[in-house]
Amino acid sequence: MLSLADQAVASIANFATGVIVARGCTKEGFGLYMLGLTVILLVTDLQGSLIATPYMVYAPRLEGARRVEYTGSTLLHQLMLSLLTVVVLAVAAVGTMFGLGPRGLKPVMWALAGTVAIIMLREFARRICFARLEMRTALVLDTACAVLQLGSLALLARFGLPTTPRVFGVMGVVCGLVVALWLWWERQAFQPQLARAIEDLRRNWMVGKWVFGSGLLWTASTNIYPWLLASFHGTAAAGVFAACLGVVSASNPILLGVQNLVGPRVAHEYAAHGPAALRRLVLRISVALAVPVSLITVALMVWGDRLIGLLYGHRYAGNSTVVKLLALNLLVTALAFAYSRALFAVERADRDFVLNVATVVIMATAGAWLVRAWGPSGAALGLLLANAVTSMARAGLFLVLPVRVVERQQVHA
């Protein structure tokens, strides 16, 4: 319940932020916000793959001082990755000064370069809490961020000032305040040592390289669609897609709350009870999710377009096909999530990586063609097609993985 409450707070904050931007900006401005948001999702998903997921897998196997040292190493890894991300975004921002990217992207990229490191640290704090099953702490963090962020954005909207760069600036300041307090409160949980951090980085890379590559491919294949829309049809089309995606994401408090618990729970189950128990748990999770997510999908398909007009404004209405396709995509990805995390837990992220290669191939071929031909509807259809194919393959792969192979992985670990 704490996990669900935490995700409800985080999702409501993200959802309300999108509504404020959509109502306060033009379609083009909302499209630019969506493009900036895909950059944030990309880097936070990558840090999750490279840092948080190995921590989730290995931390339950460590105790005492060794776990504290490992947590300190993880913090050093996060700081290095954040610095690298800032450099990359600064270079990209310079590129926009020479005409690269959609019109109006330059101030957004500079705003991201100045705030992304702090936003990444906030996500790092959340993931550490999830991996340690400290859901109460995660709830406090996300509640503080939500209250401060929405309060600040409401003031901007009150005076007609909610531009996309200012929104990202507010997010950075709020995350900075909350993360600083969390680091001080949890200071006894970190003992960073450079030599140990280098050793832990090598070990993380053994499992994390496949998780990182898989996360990179999956995130790119998912978040590239708004950029394709902006390239083929302009940033207004990306704004329409963002509104449709926002309505579908209204179900995220429940779904993501469960997912935040599933990843660590799967890792703990495998570490404590072995492969047979892991398989039973994954099947139970999939069955338990099937009914409520199906009901959410049907509701979105029936009333989704009305919700778009009600929440984002009538200029975004008339896109029921996009909402229906995205709702089906929600169902597909929800049912396959536990299988992906199970492959990570048994250290077979290389298999998940191969499946995400297929996702990128579908996006670059059929997906790009669909976007060019049908705009936001084509983007939603391409996303559904890629996820349906790879999700079925992912579930089948885990179910046919021999138990003896998983047991050898456990002994090796």
CA atoms lying within 13 Å on the CB side of residue 81: 24
pTM confidence score: 0.79
User: What is the distance between the alpha carbons of residues 188 and 183, in angstroms, rounded to a whole number?
Assistant: 9
Closest CA to 27 of 90, 124, 102: 102
pLDDT reading at 406 higher than 60 = no
Closest CA to 220 of 395, 383, 384: 383
User: What is the distance between the alpha carbons of residues 308 and 30, in angstroms, rounded to a whole number?
Assistant: 14
> In terms of pLDDT, which residue wins out, 7 or 392?
392
Highest mean pLDDT among 80-84, 286-290, 407-411: 80-84
User: What is the distance between the alpha carbons of residues 307 and 310, in angstroms, rounded to a whole number?
Assistant: 5
DSSP H stretches of helix in 97-193: 105-131, 135-158, 164-185
Q: Judge whether 379 and 225 are in contact, CB under 8 Å.
A: yes
Give the pLDDT of residue 101. Answer: 84
pLDDT reading at 167 higher than 90 = yes
Give the pLDDT of residue 291. Answer: 85
- pLDDT confidence band for 50 (50 / 70 / 90): confident
User: What is the distance between the alpha carbons of residues 211 and 363, in angstroms, rounded to a whole number?
Assistant: 20
Give the pLDDT of residue 398. Answer: 80
Cα dihedral 348, 349, 355, 357, rounded to 10, equals: -140
Domain residue spans of the chain: 2-412
pLDDT reading at 211 higher than 80 = no
Kindly report, residue by residue over 376-387, the tens digit of the pLDDT. Answer: 999 999 999 998
Give the pLDDT of residue 252. Answer: 66
Mean pLDDT of 10-33: 90
The position carrying tokens 């429940």 is 254
Cβ neighbors of 207 (< 8 A, separation 6 or more) are: 54, 57, 344, 347, 349
Helices then strands, each counted (H, E), the chain: 16, 0
Mean pLDDT of 70-87: 92
Kindly report, residue by residue over 140-160, the tens digit of the pLDDT. Answer: 999 999 999 999 999 988 888
Mean pLDDT of 123-128: 91
| HEC string for 227-267 | HHHHHHHCHHHHHHHHHHHHHHHHHHHHHHHHHHHHHHHHH
Radius of gyration of the chain (CA): 21
CB atoms within 10 A of CB 314: 9
Cβ neighbors of 17 (< 8 A, separation 6 or more) are: 149, 150, 153, 167, 171
87 CB-contact burial (10 Å; exposed 0-12 / middle 13-18 / buried 19+) = exposed
Q: What's the mean pLDDT when you consider all of the chain?
A: 86
pLDDT reading at 87 higher than 90 = yes
Q: Judge whether 58 and 52 are in contact, CB under 8 Å.
A: no
189 CB-contact burial (10 Å; exposed 0-12 / middle 13-18 / buried 19+) = middle
C-alpha distance across the termini of the chain, in Å: 32
pLDDT reading at 404 higher than 50 = no
> In terms of pLDDT, which residue wins out, 53 or 407?
53
> In terms of pLDDT, which residue wins out, 227 or 411?
227
pLDDT reading at 411 higher than 70 = no
User: What is the distance between the alpha carbons of residues 218 and 341, in angstroms, rounded to a whole number?
Assistant: 14
Amino acid symbol at 222: T
Mean pLDDT of 315-339: 89
User: What is the distance between the alpha carbons of residues 94 and 291, in angstroms, rounded to a whole number?
Assistant: 48
- pLDDT confidence band for 259 (50 / 70 / 90): low
Give the pLDDT of residue 257. Answer: 63
Give the pLDDT of residue 208. Answer: 67
Kindly report, residue by residue over 25-44, the tens digit of the pLDDT. Answer: 888 999 999 999 999 988 99
User: What is the distance between the alpha carbons of residues 122 and 243, in angstroms, rounded to a whole number?
Assistant: 25
Mean pLDDT of 117-135: 90
Give the pLDDT of residue 106. Answer: 93
Give the pLDDT of residue 56. Answer: 80
- pLDDT confidence band for 412 (50 / 70 / 90): very low
Give the pLDDT of residue 413. Answer: 41
Kindly report, residue by residue over 337-366, the tens digit of the pLDDT. Answer: 888 778 777 767 677 788 888 888 999 999
CA atoms lying within 13 Å on the CB side of residue 285: 26
User: What is the distance between the alpha carbons of residues 210 and 66, in angstroms, rounded to a whole number?
Assistant: 25
- Rounded to 5°, angle at Cα 249 from 55 and 218: 45
User: What is the distance between the alpha carbons of residues 342 and 279, in angstroms, rounded to a whole number?
Assistant: 8
pLDDT reading at 1 higher than 90 = no
The secondary structure of residue 314, as a DSSP letter, is G
